[in-house]
Amino acid sequence: MEFTPKKYINVFLGLGSNVGNRGANLKTAAALISKTIGKTAKQSHVYETQAWGNPDQDSFYNQVLMVNTTLDPRGILAEITKIEREMGRERAEKWGPRIIDIDVLFYGKRIIRDKGLEIPHPELHKRAFVLVPLMEIAPELEHPVLKQPIDELYMACEDQSEVVMLD
């Protein structure tokens, strides 16, 4: 019997929380991601940012993880949905308060435009709270659609919201 090694791919996930113990929520989500999606190869610091889209709510803690996975994009989305549900996320309103929010930012260099799944995340280049932690762990990563590295996307980003690194 011939051994065929599994093909690992780097997936970048954006995590956010603004309900309850935000720091603990990010740690719980990261642990569940490691258990179900793949090993975390890199993780950014945690950043505090004002709420985006609907500013009339508590600020968010945000973090980006680079995870080595063998799952396909739909498999990752299914696991993310399970983790969010298990942690108590309710999808009541767009941009509303969330105990946890997990977004697929990049899946290798793949471009996917499918019903319910867009990779790279279609709004990531407009959001400082995504770009700052992403720039921390992968500044030269090139956006496969925009053909620019993360640090250049950040410099061109019009989002002026404050993104504060926590200890």
Is the pLDDT assigned to residue 167 strictly greater than 90? no
On whether residue 142 sits in a domain, the answer given is no
Domains held by the chain: number: 1
Give the HSE-up count for residue 82: Cα atoms under 13 Å, Cβ half-sphere.
Answer: 11
Q: What backbone phi and psi angles, to 5 degrees, belong to 81?
A: -60, -40
On whether residue 137 sits in a domain, the answer given is no
pLDDT digits (tens, 9 = 90+) for 30-87: 999 999 999 999 999 999 999 877 778 899 999 999 999 999 999 999 999 999 999 9
Domain with residue 86: its CATH number is: 3.30.70.560
Question: Global pTM?
Answer: 0.93
Report the distance separating Cα 151 and Cα 161, nearest Å. 16
On whether residue 160 sits in a domain, the answer given is no
Share of the chain above pLDDT 70, in %: 94
On whether residue 53 sits in a domain, the answer given is yes
Report the distance separating Cα 89 and Cα 84, nearest Å. 5
Stated as kind and residue range, the H or E segment containing 32 is helix 22-36
On whether residue 74 sits in a domain, the answer given is yes
pLDDT digits (tens, 9 = 90+) for 134-151: 999 999 999 999 999 999
pLDDT-derived band at 164, boundaries 50, 70, 90: very high
Per-residue burial over 118-151, b = 16 or more CB atoms within 10 Å of its CB, e = otherwise:
ebbbeebbebbbbbbbbbbbbeebebeeeeebbe
> What's the pLDDT at 63?
98
Stated as kind and residue range, the H or E segment containing 137 is helix 128-137
- The per-residue DSSP string of 33-81 comes to HHHHTEEEEEEPPPEEE--SS--SSPPEEEEEEEEEE-S-HHHHHHHHH
Give the residue with greater pLDDT, 54 vs 21.
21
On whether residue 144 sits in a domain, the answer given is no
| Residue numbers of the domain that contains 119 | 9-123
> What's the pLDDT at 5?
64
Other CB atoms within a 10 A radius of the CB of residue 163 amount to 19
Residues 89 and 100 sit within 8 Å (Cβ to Cβ)? yes
pLDDT digits (tens, 9 = 90+) for 83-120: 999 998 877 666 678 999 999 999 999 999 998 899 99
Return the biggest CA–CA distance within the chain.
60
